[in-house]
Amino acid sequence: MSCPSTSGLERALQQALLADDDGAFAQRACDALYGADGVVAAACFLIDGHDNLTLAAHAGSFPFTALLNGTQHLELVSTRPAFPGLAAAQSGAPAQIAAADAGDDAELAQALRDSGAAQVLGLPLLGAPQRGSLCLLLAAPLDEAPNAAAALVALGLRLQALRADNARLRERLAQLALTDAVTGAANRRQAELVLVREIERSGRYGTPLSVMLFSLDGFAPFATEHGSEAGERLLKDIAQATQAKLRDADLLARWDDERFLVVAPHADAAGAATLADKLRDTVARVALPEGGRIAARLESTQLQPGESLQAVLQRVNA
């Protein structure tokens, strides 16, 4: 087995970071590092809020659990507090020991010889959400200082955090692409996607589906008199008030400038009529700055068997 290097460990960590499941990073990192040149075993130790140490993951034949009190959950006051994986997790600094220096601990020395390890390296998980360390058993001493390997682990964790941030950003951008920026309701694109899904579901299970479209009588004069900013606030107020009256399964979408679409799965004609009355009353109750009222002029239709998205939208928009 060749001498390990930080470049080899870097490639292994990059492999561990490729997977999408961040919750499995500890085991991925151990598996990937164990596969790197010169690494005969790897382990990940994590410390919880009660200062309990956990052997979160390991790879290779080295008996980590047996040597560390025989349990996955370990107190920091261990029979081997100087073991590099434990020391690095507790101190936040790299730690190392040569197999030749473990002679005073016969059991540890024998386990290191059996695994073919010449050096044990503990690398703290700097920048991770939880304190801990990666512990590497190396066939030969690392060709760089342990601080270089520790910096590599810190970089890997920063890359992992950046990847998670990017995933959250992509999710947020995808959400924004389906959301109306003014009202916070769904936009027309999301409404059409949901309608396609609900039409398919209605056809498959024979359940009713109602679609409503309402415009806001009096909104245009209000926006002209009070300005676009006041008009946008009013649209947002109406959307929030309307959303509060809908069921969890219903969808409210801003269809265009002053019209909203409601998709109501499982609502038959009677249920749709009741909901329509509720929405008209809700819109009428939204307060205007100088009195007056906005009225919802609402059209409602039921999905007919075999009807397409275009057909149902054409009827409700007639």
Asked whether residue 33 falls in the same domain as residue 120, the answer is yes
| pLDDT averaged per 10 residues, the chain (length 318) | 54 52 68 82 85 86 76 53 83 84 83 90 73 86 61 54 60 76 93 95 94 95 91 95 95 95 95 95 89 90 92 89
Instruction: Evaluate whether 156 touches 17 at the Cβ level (below 8 Å).
Output: yes
Asked whether residue 202 falls in the same domain as residue 152, the answer is no
Q: What is the dihedral of CA 212, 213, 217, 222, to 10 degrees?
A: 120
Give the total residue count for the chain: 318
pLDDT at residue 86 in the model: 86
Q: Answer with the one of 172, 207, 237 that is the final residue of a domain.
A: 172
State the residue for tokens 């924004």: 176
pLDDT at residue 199 in the model: 95
CA dihedral over 20, 21, 23, 24, signed as positive or negative? negative
pLDDT at residue 147 in the model: 59
pLDDT at residue 105 in the model: 83
pLDDT at residue 271 in the model: 94
Asked whether residue 112 falls in the same domain as residue 240, the answer is no
Asked whether residue 29 falls in the same domain as residue 127, the answer is yes
Within 10 angstroms of residue 99's Cβ, the number of other Cβ atoms is 20
Asked whether residue 151 falls in the same domain as residue 218, the answer is no
pTM of the model: 0.51
Asked whether residue 60 falls in the same domain as residue 161, the answer is yes
Asked whether residue 44 falls in the same domain as residue 143, the answer is yes
pLDDT at residue 159 in the model: 47
Report d(CA 312, CA 318) in Å as an integer: 10
pLDDT at residue 156 in the model: 52
Instruction: Evaluate whether 189 touches 177 at the Cβ level (below 8 Å).
Output: yes
For position 39, which CATH number holds? 3.30.450.40
pLDDT at residue 127 in the model: 60
**Which secondary structure element, helix H or strand E, spans residue 317, and what is its range?**
none
Does residue 1 form part of some domain? no
User: Residue type for 175, please?
Assistant: Q
Does residue 29 form part of some domain? yes
Does residue 183 form part of some domain? no
- Domain of 23 in residue numbering reads as 6-172
How many separate domains does the chain show? 2
User: Residue type for 268, please?
Assistant: D
For position 206, which CATH number holds? 3.30.70.270
Asked whether residue 15 falls in the same domain as residue 163, the answer is yes
Asked whether residue 104 falls in the same domain as residue 134, the answer is yes
